[in-house]
A and B are shown apart, each in its own frame.
Chain A
Amino acid sequence: MGTATGSPARERAVVATAAALGVEVLLYERYGAHEASFHWFTHLYVGGAAALLVLSGLTLLRRRQAPYPAVWVVLGHVVAMVPDLLFTLRDMAHRPWMDVFLGHLSTHFVPGRNATWFTVFALAVGAYVISVERVGGEAQRGPA
């Protein structure tokens, strides 16, 4: 997803994407060990979609691509899963107020469940790609 221009920037983008992927693999393994992969997907889709929509807005607003989209997706995912961290690490059961973490509770119960959130996530990825292409096209055309 990155469009780094120089070699060091490209290397940083590759390292950041690999690190983000590594974190997600680790998180998936932990959720899987708790037999909770359904929750991992929900929070990935919701957190990732939120992050990518913010990135799309930033990209269009600043007229240049926001870097490291995969890292932003991981950050969004982590925000959405904070209540699970509290449950596991602090023995704190979920409470209704924990919906402030990107709808941690209620997002599980939307009609269509994860299929719905997968669609939202895919659309957010598409929106991000379009925003990057639009800004890239403007840069290639140069100032009017």
Chain B
Amino acid sequence: MLAAGAVSLVGALNVLAASSAGPLDDHDPAHQRPGFLDAVGPRTPAPRIADGFPARGKVSVVFFVRAEQHDPLLERLRLDQELRAAAALAVVTAGPCGVDTAALPGLVQRCDPAARVARGYAMPVPRDEGPPVGYALVGPDGDIRYRTLDPALHLDDVAVMVGAV
């Protein structure tokens, strides 16, 4: 009886946790932040976002955000010198946006009103069916090695994955 109660409790907790997934989360939680490279099948070349990006011979990170995440992400990237030193960075903002090229020297910024860049990187579509909030990692050879939705944009995760490429 106690065992059945414990199993039922864990199952109920699981249902509750699963139902609290947010609109920016992946339809399939197994594909969100899996933590290992090439989790999505064969490598594919990364589309060019700007001159010299993705960078050859260096890991590149392409962040995909919506307008509301843009400024907070730039502030966090400004403070994260280690990540900026470890990888070339780009921020792709969904929808119409203004790009402040002086915001962070070396940072590539791109507006993606029609989500063409996101589609080019085969970013997953979140539960609200809108543009993705997450990131893709591109290896020094120009191939996409990792892509995930990550509404909170865990930069510590990004740093670990950059180190693994």
Contact = CB atoms under 8 A, between A and B. Distances in A.
Q: Are A and B co-members of a single complex?
A: yes
Interface residues of A, number: 30
A103 B30 CA distance: 14
Q: Secondary structure at chain B's binding surface: helix, strand, loop or mixed? A: helix
Interface string B127-165: 000000000000000000000000010100001110110
Contacts of B37: 93
Given A41-B17, A113-B30, A92 B10 contact: no
Interface residues of B, number: 26
B164 A36 contact: no
A55 interface: no
A44 B33 CA distance: 18
By Cβ-Cβ distance, the 4 closest A-B pairs, closest first, are: A93-B164, A94-B36, A38-B29, A108-B30
18 contacts: A1-B3, A36-B33, A38-B32, A41-B10, A44-B10, A87-B160, A91-B163, A93-B36, A93-B37, A94-B34, A94-B36, A95-B36, A98-B36, A105-B34, A113-B30, A121-B7, A121-B10, A125-B4
